[in-house]
Structure 1
Amino acid sequence: MGILPDQYDKYVRFFKFMLKYWNSDVFSFSGDEIQSADKENIADEFDHTPEELTEDLKKMGPTYVKLGQLLSTRPDLLPPHFMEALATLQDDVDEVEYEVVEEIFKEEIGVRISKAFLSFDKEPLASASIGQVHKAVTLSGQVVAVKIQRPGIRKRFIEDLDTLMELSKKAESISKVARSYSLHTVIEELRYILLKELDYNLEAQNLLTLKTNLKSFHHLFIPAPVLDYCSSRVLTMDFVEGNKITKVSPLKIMDLDMVPLIDDLIKGYLNQIIIDGFAHADPHPGNVYLTPDNKIALMDAGMVAKFSNQMQETILKLMIGLSNYDSSRVTDLLLSISEYDDKDVDLALFTKNIERKIQESQNQKAKDLQTGRTLIEINQMAAKQNIHIPVDLNVLGKILLNMDQIVATLTPEYDMQKTVKEYAKHLMQKRMKEDLKPGNLMELFLEMKDLTESLPYRINKFTENLAENKIRIKVDTIDEDRFTGAFQKVANRITAGLIIAALIIGAAMLVQIPSSFTVFGYPAFAFVLFIIAALIGMYLLYQILFVDESKKQK
């Protein structure tokens, strides 16, 4: 696709940004910086500040502002203090006029605001790049928050994202750095997430799903959508009273027993990831509220993560491996789900780095252990060695890192590692019980039935091809003579086994026939066949136990 006149400004803005940051150490930092406790000293090591990056993104427009916020969920790409700045990045946007809000609401829902609500605050509670939120009261007296999407924002986002998709693909074709961080895949993932977030119908369904999945965690609250007043551009849901976790007063934290709340929060997230495979993906402290009735409310379900059944099992095993400080198990699990080329990867070095990272965690105090940060650092090490770990683990690392921050705010002495370890074992038992459900067993029986039905045909086809000399074995880089000799030895022993079986069966049949020539009361011919079978059998046994074993040792 060529550069069209109406796209000129988009390309110019993008290339100006890239010229400034392409060779910047912001995007090529070493994962070691994340371990430092002094953020001011870390910031001095970079040629651009987080504030400078956020201002540049604001100048590029709302699409890039949102992409900056989404990049804050990719700690494998940016230093921690840059992520914090991007997580709070807000566009300097003007409020949408009430008349426009009313027009969008009527167009989407089919009724005027005055007919749908007893009251509707014209002044928005918050205004962001995608939409703004108003407080209202329904005709039934329910206090709700109404989110209205900005006019024309969808078209603008799609145009900017298409431009980014094209440029990221070209960047990978000419840049090794872009390829090592799978830049096109990152942009594609962010595009997918952002387009989903533009559809408020999906966010309403996400709220319903999360509310159902977390109903057994009594200290967690998910606002329910009012579906009659929801559309792709309008989202109406329960209004959440309370304060952000970061703004809860120290006195309230001291007065309230936060441990049950944190227990439910951590276990609820583990349950979402490992059992449900559907998780609220952006639990940064700004999206987590403490309500007046002392519950933790999870806000903004526009961004969710979905985990396949296989990934759920891998994450469960990984969490158990991390809690047991089993570096070899963690390494094996990571490599089993990653993409890499043996020629470009030093697996020994990667294994060594993982072992060191796990050992560092083992030597820390319980309250300082941060599983999320460990996963993020592992992702960084993998990326630098051209090992492409699935994005799911980046999301997991970010979720757990946010859990670490919330725990540090509400219960600094809480042993999160202990809770993760104990609850992971409980979830292992829960998954095993799920596998024993009638539906799963029926699926297993159907698979066995299919195998049983197809096995005779497959064996028949194999033996037919074997008889017609149609079987071909392709093996690279082996000693052909040695392989042929081994194959011949196997064939000879199979033949000998068949001969022994035939001799025994024949002798057994001859025993039943009366004969004048006997040995120890048995027909002589049958006795001779038994003796021959026994001798061949003992010879084969000798070859297997002694001759082959001695060759193996040599």
Structure 2
Amino acid sequence: MRRQATPAASDASAPPPLPDRVALLRASRRLAELDGLPEQALRWHGAAIEGRRALAYEAERIARPRIWPDTLGALAATGWRVARTAAPDAPVVLVGAAATAFGLPVGPPDASAGTIARAQRLVRAGGPAYVKLGQFIASARGLLPDAWVDAFAWCRDAAPPLEPGTAEAILRRELGERAHGIELDPEPLAAASIGQVHRGRLRDGTEVVVKVRRPGLRARFRSDIETLALVCAGADRINNAVRVANLPGFVAVFARLSLEELDFRLEAANLVESVAVLEDIGVDGVRVPRPLPGMVNERVIVMEHLPGVSYARLADQPGAVVDGPRLLELGVRAVLEATLRHGVFHGDLHAGNVLIAGEGFSLVDLGLCGRLDAAERAGLVRFLIGFAAADARMQVEAMRSFGALEHDADVDALVERFQAEVDRLADRSDGAVTFDRLGLTLGRLLQSLSAGGVRIPKELVLFFKNLLYLGDFAASVAPGADVLAVVEGLLQDLFSQPDGDGAGLLALVAG
């Protein structure tokens, strides 16, 4: 049984353009509250456009299977690690699981305890890129078997802390005299695979958060990625399943995401854009920390401290009372409306990055952001309408906007197979897709599309993962909520606006 789709407007000759982000930054009142931040925000924004382009080129280059001089040592080290795990297939199995988490048609990996244990040993013995692959797996509930997701949960928060004093030394070296007025707490707030985070204070008592990049990380990531590229290229030649999944292509995507997270100047650009976007759509209860002008470079970022506690730890807070429905509405707006209006969204909304603070919450760690162009935004709108209406053709056709279909794809056959899966999922006994069942629903849909030859694009996977994270969020603050009712309510509100973005978004919906 299908839901009623939102009434469609006639096709426009071209999708409406995204809002002007430069104008958005200039108009932001929150950015203007900090001296020098609007001007610096514009510089970060402009430099980030070229920076992302350069990193995309570099990622393609280092993910191309070649023997570099510094790769020989990495290969030897990888060979030793593989030998120690007694699993020659461990690197390919690990990359395959991570690629499945990204929507590639690899198929569910072997979930036997022995296979998972071998992949875990490789991650524990490997470099930072291997830990990052483990983090991808840990964030893929609904796309991977639970046994894989649970086995790699430690990758999110088990990175060893830097030696005492190291973070402070990095801060002094990178910022010079500007660091003299910052006092760091000796105990880190968090230690991750890329950076370590400390609370701190400026001379005037202002509370800040300082994030420093681990020493030598860029060179280690590069050698790890070059090694993975060679391993996957070799497997691609002899394994048809690997060839179909295009694991070498996934390594290139993984390289790009990793390199972007290594440059904290890009994170600063993500932060100021997100501040301006949330302000523009009027989500007053959601905050993003503002980076401090003059205190950001590639290896260090200093930003304002925002209060809050992870929603996953709310149950541990004595006497904590939250307005669950309000928080859920804020969460849906912060994810969906920001994406649909502006084409930019937080790319990693796991529980540690969403901090409940009173009647609202703070979003932190924006090293990874999803970005859609006008055509991709149009495709996403059509996909969401098709998802809400259980309309397989609308969802499949929307994939064209992302370049996810081959030019000779048999669309009718794909739609027929996909519609059978959609109808099966839509035929639910209670008539609702609650957030705790959203992971299963989206996971089956993505797997069905991938099995039909659709290459799920990176930005769409990041967006779907945000919906899965919303599931975890809602289960903590508003269990039992109907996800489609919440999403459809927001879409109806957007489309009902008679002018501006409402009319533009309605024009995106194909008949």
- TM-score normalised by the shorter chain: which range applies? 0.7 to 0.9
TM-fit CA distance, 1:91: 7.6
From the superposition, tell whether residues 24 and 186 of structure 1 become closer, same or farther in structure 2 (CA, over 3 Å): closer
**Which whole-Å CA distance do the structure 2 matches of 1:75 and 1:248 have between them?**
21
Q: Deviations over 1:231-282 (max 9, x none)?
A: 1111112223332111102887984321111101101211222111111011
In the alignment, what sits opposite 1:56?
122
User: What is the CA–CA distance in structure 1 between the aligned matches of 2:418 and 2:328, rounded to whole Å?
Assistant: 32
Q: Does 1:405 align with 2:472?
A: yes
The two structures, once aligned, show a CA RMSD in angstroms of: 3.5
Q: Report the number of matched residues.
A: 424
Residues 254 and 325 of structure 1: CA distance in aligned 2, closer, same or farther (over 3 Å)? farther
Distance 1:116 1:431 in 2: 51
* Structure with more helix by fraction: 1
1:528-547 correspondence to structure 2 within 5 Å: none
With over 3 angstroms needed to count, the CA separation of the structure-2 counterparts of 1:229 and 1:85, relative to structure 1, is farther
The DSSP-based 3-state class of the residue aligned with 2:294 is helix
1:274-330 CA-to-partner distances (Å, cap 9, x unmatched) read 111111011112221112x33221121011111121111111111112112223322
Question: Take 1:398 and 1:187, find their aligned partners in 2: how far apart are those partners?
Answer: 19
Matches within 5 A, 1:104-115: 104-111=170-177, 113=179, 115=180
Residues 117-164 of structure 1, C-alpha deviations (whole Å, 9 max, x = no match): 2x3212322223322122211122111111111211111112211222
Structure-2 change in CA distance of 1:384 and 1:21 (3 Å): farther
Query: What is the rounded CA distance, in whole Å, between the counterparts of 1:68 and 1:403 in structure 2?
Result: 21
How far, CA to CA, are the matches of 2:211 and 2:191 in structure 1?
A: 9
Q: Distance in 2 between matches of 1:147 and 1:95?
A: 13
Give the superposition deviation at 1:111: 1.7
The aligned counterpart of 1:474 is none
* 1:271 matched residue in structure 2: 337
Map Cα deviations across residues 327-361 of structure 1 (whole Å, 9 max, x no partner). 33223334674223758x69536523433334423
Equivalent residue letter for 1:151: P
Q: Which amino acid aligns with 1:96?
A: L
* SS class of match (2:302): strand
**Aligned match of 2:348:** 282
- 2:315 pairs with 1:246: no
- The reply on whether 1:256 has 2:322 as its aligned counterpart is yes
Q: Which amino acid aligns with 1:283?
A: L
Matched, 1:162 2:226: yes
Which residue is 1:503 aligned to? none
**CA spacing shift, 1:123–1:256, aligned 2, 3 Å:** closer
* Map 1:134-153 → 2, pairs under 5 A: 134-153=198-217
- How far apart in 2 are the matches of 1:255 and 1:435? 35
1:57 deviation in Å?
A: 0.6
Structure 2 Cα separation of the partners of residues 106 and 24 of structure 1: 41
Tell me the distance in 2 between the aligned counterparts of 1:85 and 1:430: 46
CA distance in 2, matches of 1:380, 1:338: 14
1:46 counterpart (105, 112, 117): 112
Q: 1:10 to 1:177 in 2, by over 3 A?
A: farther
Which whole-Å deviations, capped at 9, do the CAs of 1:451-478 have from their partners, x for residues lacking one?
xxxxxxxxxxxxxxxxxxxxxxxxxxxx
1:219–1:260 contact (8 Å) kept in structure 2: no
Q: Which moved more, 1:223-232 or 1:297-306?
A: 223-232
CA distance in 1, matches of 2:202, 2:463: 37
Match of 1:303 in 2: 368
| 1:133-532 to 2 correspondences below 5 Å | 133-215=197-279, 216-249=282-315, 255-291=321-357, 293-334=358-399, 337-340=403-406, 342=408, 348=413, 351-365=416-430, 366=432, 368=434, 370-371=437-438, 373-428=440-495, 433-434=500-501
Partner of 1:550: none
In the superposition, relative to structure 1, how do residues 158 and 169 fare at CA in structure 2: closer, same or farther (>3 Å)?
Answer: same
Q: Is the 8 A contact 1:181 1:383 kept in 2?
A: no
Q: Which residue type is aligned with residue 214 of structure 1? A: L
Moved more, 69-78 or 295-304: 69-78
Does the aligned pair in 2 maintain the 1:372–1:399 contact within 8 Å?
A: no
Instruction: For 2:503 and 2:411, locate their aligned partners in 1 and report how far apart those are by CA, in whole Å.
Output: 41
Cα displacement (A) at 1:12: 0.8
Letter in 2 for 1:192: R
Structure 1 pair 264–357 and aligned structure 2 pair: CA distance change class (3 A): same
Judge which range, 62-71 or 400-409, deviates more.
62-71
- Alignment pair present for 1:12 and 2:89: no
- CA displacement 1:435-464 (0-9 Å, x = unmatched): 989xx9xxxxxxxxxxxxxxxxxxxxxxxx
Give the CA deviation at 1:214: 0.9
Cα separation, 1, equivalents of 2:109 and 2:442 = 22
Give the 3 Å change call, closer, same or farther, for CA 328–94 of structure 1 in structure 2.
closer
Contact 1:10 1:163 in 2 (8 A): no
Provide the C-alpha distance between the structure 2 equivalents of 1:260 and 1:239, rounded to a whole number of angstroms.
23
- 1:351-398 per-residue CA deviation (whole Å, 9 max, x = no partner) reads 234333344234243253655543332221232233323233222221
Secondary structure in structure 2 of the residue aligned to 1:95 = coil
When residues 253 and 262 of structure 1 are mapped into structure 2, their CA distance, relative to the original with a 3 A threshold, is: farther
Identity %: 25
Alpha-carbon shift at residue 173 of structure 1 (Å): 3.5
Q: Is the 8 A contact 2:187 2:198 kept in 1?
A: yes
Greater mean deviation of Cα atoms: 390-399 or 346-355:
346-355
Taking the aligned partners of 2:366 and 2:438, their CA distance within structure 1 comes to 24
User: Structure 1 residues 236-245 or 66-75, which shifts more?
Assistant: 66-75
Decide whether the 8 Å contact of 1:26 with 1:78 is kept in 2: no
Alpha-carbon distance in 2 for matches of 1:432, 1:178: 49
SS class of match (2:456): coil
Structure 2 CA distance, aligned partners of 1:243 and 1:91? Answer: 15
Does the 8 Å contact 1:180/1:384 carry over to 2? no
Residue 43 to residue 195, structure 1, CA distance change in 2 (3 Å): closer
AA at the equivalent of 1:386: G
Letter in 2 for 1:70: F
User: What is the TM-score normalised by the length of structure 1?
Assistant: 0.68
Secondary structure of 1:214's match?
helix
Q: 1:192 to 1:431 in 2, by over 3 A?
A: farther
Length-normalised TM-score, structure 2: 0.73
Which residue of the other structure, out of 107, 112, 127, is the alignment partner of 2:191?
127
Larger radius of gyration: 1
